Structure 1
């Protein structure tokens, strides 16, 4: 199959990479920790900090950003539905590592458990298709939404209302069966994200025109940075995933290597 939009594959990142402290037996961690490593490995972000390293605040009691340098600060946010994250947390095999041995155990919830309830997990990128900015405003203003698609969309809207420079991470891995043209495949992935997230990012821009917005994702073992301006996401930089030791460690322990690796 050729490298065309309809042939693009999307693989959600495993629970160990998106659920804080999901993997037991290692130091406390969050997805924010490896995003910080990617940011510090990025020439684009280091230029914004005047080549000074970014750090994570020891405390965030007063609304500090997640990623701070003297010249530039950002907040980190996952662009994933609450229902999807809950499902990954409950239904993914538990992972415990000890003395160099990794154990993959039964999920926290299984169909045999008396309190088991299936979860309809929202694919947030698909849920946004066909919605207008007026739809976002209407959903944002509704109270007591039941768990489901509209509640997940409202959570995303609230995330996009964060009054800070925002690095959003879309926790999916993009690839094709035939990955023979990196630039072409990357542009197809960005075009797809523009199609799905354009209205939502326009909403943020209208609300917070002076705040920067980045959307990042994984494509062919690279952390991809895009920036929103002029009404669309623009490619900014690639950072090999090997630049984040924590990301590589969590990926290895998750025993869930990327499909389509070259």
Structure 2
């Protein structure tokens, strides 16, 4: 009977290791996609934000011109609604906050003001070593492995730093964190039986996978995530295509406004 119990424990350990590996790979994929969505969102705002603002302003001016011609209360109401959707221009300090350094405008600001292409933010492609370090740290330092609240808090603060280093693709920082974890205090051993620990670990892994799946679905269903999935290998080309469409809309609305004002 003891041999059968030991064999069952070994099978549980194998199942836990396999589930951990699968979960960590899933975490890496979700985190990498989250970082790319964040980068693409920033570039989308920088590159296309002014065009969207121009379209809103043209819509408001067209509605106001129509209302001025017709005097219809319904047209006046639509004009007010259209004007209400236009974002107010920020103050100069707000517009350039964070864009001016000791040498003047940042490259991104200068590019936008001169209508040159904005350099896209670097795409995070963690190296294999960074992935390995991240997997080990996520496996060893996760807060849910803590035996008490103090240890949970310590692990939680540590994992925040691990995630930040991985998001930046900083292999050196991950290596330093691995050394720090290896030298740090270890949580006390759990008193529960080995089988109970393994079953609890499998339950947590399943719950964590469900949470990550929900996060991934939310990212993919977002407007930016959906756009990024349309052209994962050439997001800059997708932005250029959208920009061309927006420019065509701007030209069309400017023509319409000119007709109304003449």
TM-score where L is the length of structure 1? 0.21
Structure with greater strand percent: 1
TM-score (structure 2 length as normaliser)? 0.21
Bigger CA radius of gyration: 2
